[in-house]
Amino acid sequence: MSRKRNKSNLEKPKPKAKPLAPELMFKRPEKKIEITPIKKEFVFRTPDGREVGRTKNISGMIKLLRTMPLESITFHSNEGHFVSWSRKIGDLEMASRFSEVKEKGEDLRQEILKICTIFSIRRQAFVSQWHPIGGSRRHKHSGRRDKRI
């Protein structure tokens, strides 16, 4: 099933693409653009931008919240940073709880501490129930499955 070529197909040259105008041509950026991965670290800052603490997990957040300046906590709460951080670490329920916080002053600190403590306990309970071999535990001597889990 070969296609026959006739002279009319061979004689017609294909049209060449027109060159682009210089302003439409791709220009390389002068600076190298680096794409950084999304960090799960929370950086506490004051409203003027001074860094006052860092944490990567909820237990670290609880430790820092106890000593953090109230102006920093208020700043991050007003800007929605607690909500976005909890979404980054994959806890959407905690994010919704943070978005509902309306307290001010020292009550704000206590409410955020309460939310972090609740979700820290939930995570610890979840991890303690998980077992690396099939999700169950066996008795040491008899080989029977332990029904506690």
The tens digit of pLDDT for each residue in 99-141 reads 999 999 999 999 999 999 998 887 776 655 555 555 545 445 5
Mean pLDDT over each residue of the chain, to the nearest integer: 75
How does pLDDT run across 35-48, given as a tens digit for each residue? Answer: 334 568 899 999 99
Domains of the chain, by residue range, sit at 42-129
pLDDT of residue 69: 93
Answer whether 119's CB lies under 8 Å from 58's CB: yes
Q: What is the pTM of this model?
A: 0.58
Which helix (H) or strand (E) element contains residue 85? Answer: helix 81-88
pLDDT at 112: 95
CB atoms within 10 A of CB 52: 14
Burial environment of residue 44 by CB neighbours within 10 A (0 to 12, 13 to 18, 19 or more): buried
